[in-house]
Amino acid sequence: MDFACNFPFFSIMLLMFTGIISMIAGPRPAKILSLAALGISTVLSALLIAYINQTGESFIYMMGHFPAPFGNEISAGMFEAVMAFGICGVAFLSLWGNGASTKTDIPEKKRNLYYIMMDMLMASLLVLIYTNDIFTAYVFVELNTIAACAIVMSKPGGETIAATIRYLIMSLLGSGLFLLGISLIYALTGHLLMPNMHEIIIELVHNSNYTLPLIVIVGLFGVSMAIKSALFPFHSWLPDAHGSATTASSAVLSGLVLKGYIILLIKLFFRVFSLDILKEFHISDVLLVLGLLGMIMGSVKAIKETNIKRMIAYSSVAQIGYIFMGIGMDITIGLVAAVFQILVHMVTKPMLFTAAGGLINVSGHKKDFESLQGSAWKDPLAGVSFIVGSLSMIGIPLFAGFIVKYYLAAAAFDTSKNTLIILAVLVLSTVLNALYYVPAISKIYHRDEASKFNWQDVLRTIGAVGDFPYQASLIIFIILNIILGTCSGPVFQALEMGLDMLG
């Protein structure tokens, strides 16, 4: 075992210990420790990607003293490494960039607790990505839920607590169903490690034994993860939670937490049940339909919103719909497209939330569009990032969103499901996205006829508003988006390789 194989374990442990140590630290040290841990994890994940690229295969890492099938395992391949890199990197940028607004929103005494919760959240996300054992997944799903709820409610005020309770209830419902699924699959296969379960399931399907319980299990896994990742119609908790939380929390929740559950679902579908077996169960049909509905309904609801953060949150519902549409297509290339959308959304949504946070800050901390008019002139960098994010979401070429649509459409032709409907909904969602992003941009750039306009002033303001982390993180997000939009070839190949290794 090369040294690099320890990296997943290191990242997880590092984040957990940082969380524990931060309990005795003040707010500033806690933040620095968090950022350091996240930074180191990002670097480790990058090194891991390089390592796996070199060896060309995934590896299994034993946790504890008992080998499979009795012990616990971590499995790391290209897919897991890329996802981990994305998650740690985006978390770092979100926390770093929004440091100022975190300072204003969260009282000083509680701030180190906030960073502890972030560390725990990141650690549990990494476990969900890397684990090979389904019960470990359950435990860390619960940890994820608690930490996510904690970062929502950390901003004082009744609104956040009400939102947290709704989120908590829905999440716990999802967890309960997940545990039920685990119990059933354990009863059927007698194993908790995914590769071992897979062997038994192949046998069972081959002999046509226990088909109904298997369908129920897949359904339970699908529904529980759908509830937790806000697939329509289980999305009602999302706008409240993401809309009322502080900016860093919204960015992390929308960009990362939702994805953690979807990544777990993809692993379950791919590694425990392979895609061929899944096709016979028709659960993916349900996911496809719900994904298509989510794409439309998410955007329709966003059009009516007057609060910028809630509008962006509803947009997340629509984007998650894309991912489930990709998963629902039941073919590998569809899954790769879905994973690519995960990456793109991971990079775009936190940028939108950070930009929105910046715009809200220069408008007297008001979130509705009436108060935000003209804010993009006061904070030009936020305005530009908002435009880049919106263009990406709408699907203008040269930005990442267009490439996602291209890959999903290309996959749509190979699937056995109805191609024309998928294409039509894909295109319809483009227009619907435009219907709320374009008026939003027009409002934030609104100016009275009378006011004088001077480009030199605008350019000078760019450097003046917001501190360096905020500006740097926005610029890095923009660059990442454009890179994914123009040089997506290598990334896509890496993901294809990753999904090959996953099975």
Partner 1 sequence: MGENLFTNYYEAASVILFGVGFTCLLLSKNLIKKFIGLNIMDTAIYLFLTAKGYIAGRVPLMDADSVRDPELYINPLPSGLVLTGIVVSVSVTAFSLALVLKLYQTYHTLDLDEVLTKAKKEEE
Partner 2 sequence: MGLICILLPIIGGIWLLYKKRQTYFVRLVLLLHVLLTGILLFLPDTSWVVWKLTDQLNIVLKTDGLSRIFLAMVSLIWLVVSVYAQDYLEHDENPIRFFAFYLLTLGGLTGLCLAGNFMTLYLFFEAMSLLSVPLVLHTMTREAVAAALKYLIYSIAGASMALIGFFILLHYGSIEFAAGGTLSAAVISEHRDILLAGALFTVVGFGTKAGIFPMHSWLPTAHPVAPAPASAVLSGVITKAGIFAVIRVVYYQFGVELIAGSWVQYVWIILSLISVLMGSTLAFKEQILKKRLAYSSVSQLSYILFGLGTLTPTGFVGAVLHVVCHSVIKNGLFLGAGAVIHQTHKTKVRELDGIGKVMPVTMTCFTICALALVGIPPSGGFVSKWNLIAGSLESGLGLISWLGPVILLVSAVLTAGYLLGISVQAFITGKDKNGAAAGQEVSGRMRNSQMLLAFLAVVLGVFSGPLISYLETIAGGLF
If contact means CB under 5 to 8 A according to the sort of partner, which of partner 2, partner 1, none does residue 329 touch? none
Q: Which residue has the tokens 């379950």?
A: 268
From partner 1, partner 2, none, interface partner of 180 (C-beta below 5 to 8 A by class): partner 1
Other beta carbons within 10 angstroms of residue 51's beta carbon come to 17
Rounded distance between C-alpha atoms, residue 101 and residue 190, angstroms: 49
- Considering only 168, 223, 231, 425, the residue that binds partner 1 (CB under 8 A) is 168
CB-nearer residue toward partner 2: 208 or 454 = 454
The candidate with the shortest Cα–Cα distance to 237, out of 175, 167, 301, is 167
State which of positions 46-75 bind partner 1 (CB under 8 A).
none
Which secondary structure element, helix H or strand E, spans residue 61, and what is its range?
A: strand 59-63
Rounded to a whole number of angstroms, the minimum distance from the CB of residue 227 to partner 1 is 13
Decide if residue 489 touches partner 2 (CB under 8 A): yes
If binding means CB under 8 A, how many residues of this protein chain bind partner 1?
31
Residue 44 tokens read as: 């480790």
Interface region with partner 2, contact rule CB under 8 A, candidates 145-153, 302-310, 355-363, 433-441: 433-441
Measured in whole angstroms, how far is the alpha carbon of residue 278 from the centre of its chain? 24
Q: Which of 26, 67, 157, 439 is close enough to bind partner 2 by CB under 8 A?
A: 439
186 binds partner 2 (CB under 8 A): no
What are the CA-CA distances from residue 482 to residues 390, 403, 488, 496 (Å)? 13, 11, 10, 21
Task: Answer for the pair 280, 201: CB distance below 8 angstroms, yes or no.
Answer: no
Q: Which two tokens stand for residue 27?
A: 């707010």
164 binds, among partner 1, partner 2, none (CB under 5 to 8 A by kind): partner 1
Under rule CB under 8 A, residue 453 binds partner 2: yes
Cβ–Cβ < 8 Å for 34, 22:
yes
Interface with partner 2, residue 416, by CB under 8 A: no
Q: Which does 3 bind (CB under 5 to 8 A by kind): partner 1, partner 2, none?
A: none
Half-sphere exposure of 22 (CA within 13 A, CB side): 29
Among 139, 421, 431, 479, binds partner 1 (CB under 8 A): 139
Nearer to partner 2, 138 or 436 (CB): 436
Segment 353 to 412, residues that bind partner 2, using CB under 8 A? 391, 394-398, 403, 405-407, 409-410, 412
- DSSP H or E stretch at residue 141: helix 134-153
The Cα-based distances of 241 to 4, 129, 283 in angstroms read 38, 24, 28
- Residue 435 interaction partner, one of partner 2, partner 1, none, beta carbon < 5-8 Å per kind: partner 2
Give the Cα separation of 414 and 150 in Å (integer).
43
Please give the single-letter amino acid code of residue 361.
N
**434 touches partner 2 by CB under 8 A:** yes
Q: What does DSSP assign to residue 80?
A: H
Please, what is the minimum distance in Å from the beta carbon of residue 119 to partner 1? 17
Of 51, 82, 63, 53, nearest to 9 by C-alpha is 63
Check residue 146 for interaction with partner 1 (CB under 8 A): yes
Among 173, 200, 215, 441, binds partner 1 (CB under 8 A): 173
350 prior amide bond cis, ω within 30: no
The DSSP secondary-structure symbol of 6 reads G
Q: Does 16 bind partner 1 (CB under 8 A)?
A: no
Binding span for partner 1 by CB under 8 A among 74-82, 109-117, 157-165, 371-379? 157-165
Tell me how far apart the alpha carbons of residues 378 and 445 are, in angstroms, rounded to a whole number: 10
The answer to whether 485 and 347 are in contact (CB under 8 A) is no
Residue 146 or 494: which CB sits closer to partner 1? 146
Residue 394 contact among partner 1, partner 2, none, beta carbon within 5 to 8 Å by kind: partner 2
**Contact set with partner 1 (CB under 8 A):** 135, 138-139, 142, 145-146, 149-150, 153, 157-159, 161-166, 168-169, 172-173, 176, 179-180, 182-183, 186-187, 192, 307
**Contact set with partner 2 (CB under 8 A):** 391, 394-398, 403, 405-407, 409-410, 412-413, 419-420, 423-424, 427-428, 430-431, 434-435, 438-439, 442, 446-449, 452-453, 455-456, 459, 485-489, 492
